[in-house]
């Protein structure tokens, strides 16, 4: 991706599988998730199944996919609306800082507007300073703190 290139954002297609797998493995590695081709294949199945809630966009520059975004709609009972949840956003480390992540977020906000959604929302790691610098420019940091509880049998 040259510095002057503007990334084009489009829906992922099945022809993108090999490059998507490279980027998704990179995403999982970035967040220090255990290697698992089973997970990679499962997620590929989700995002290529039109009946599944997960969808994907890719950013392409100079004929090469340089970033991905996985997203889905979610109900917001407190407001009686539906938003778009950005699950995963990853840019090839060699092309970071050249607009791909911003272009993907911008496209999601356009989708949200076209569908009448109330928000595009996401989380990031507290130490992901580089991403937060972008997010602080394109969105509003919320006051909410996230918790995870492990499932337990009754």
Residues 62-110 have pLDDT tens digits of 999 999 999 999 999 999 999 999 999 999 999 999 999 999 999 999 9
C-alpha to C-alpha distance for 91 and 11, rounded to whole angstroms: 16
- pLDDT band of 6, cuts 50, 70, 90: confident
- Phi and psi at 34, nearest 5°, equal -60, 135
Contact 27, 93 (CB under 8 A): no
Class of domain 8-138: alpha beta
Instruction: Quote the pTM value.
Output: 0.93
Contact 87, 54 (CB under 8 A): yes
């Amino acid at each position: 991706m040259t510095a002057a290139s503007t990334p084009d954002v489009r829906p992922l297609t099945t022809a993108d599988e090999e490059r998507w797998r490279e980027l998704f493995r990179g995403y999982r590695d970035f967040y220090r998730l255990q290697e698992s081709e089973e997970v990679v294949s499962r997620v590929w199945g989700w995002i290529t199944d039109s009946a599944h809630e997960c969808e994907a966009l890719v950013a392409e520059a100079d004929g090469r996919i340089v970033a991905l975004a996985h997203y889905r709609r979610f109900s917001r009972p407190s407001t009686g609306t539906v938003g778009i949840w950005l699950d995963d956003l990853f840019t090839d480390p060699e092309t970071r800082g050249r607009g791909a992540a911003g272009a993907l977020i911008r496209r999601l906000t356009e989708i949200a507007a076209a569908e009448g959604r109330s928000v595009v929302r996401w989380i990031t790691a507290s130490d992901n300073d580089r991403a937060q610098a972008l997010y602080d420019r394109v969105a509003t940091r919320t006051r909410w703190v996230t918790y995870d509880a492990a499932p337990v049998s009754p």
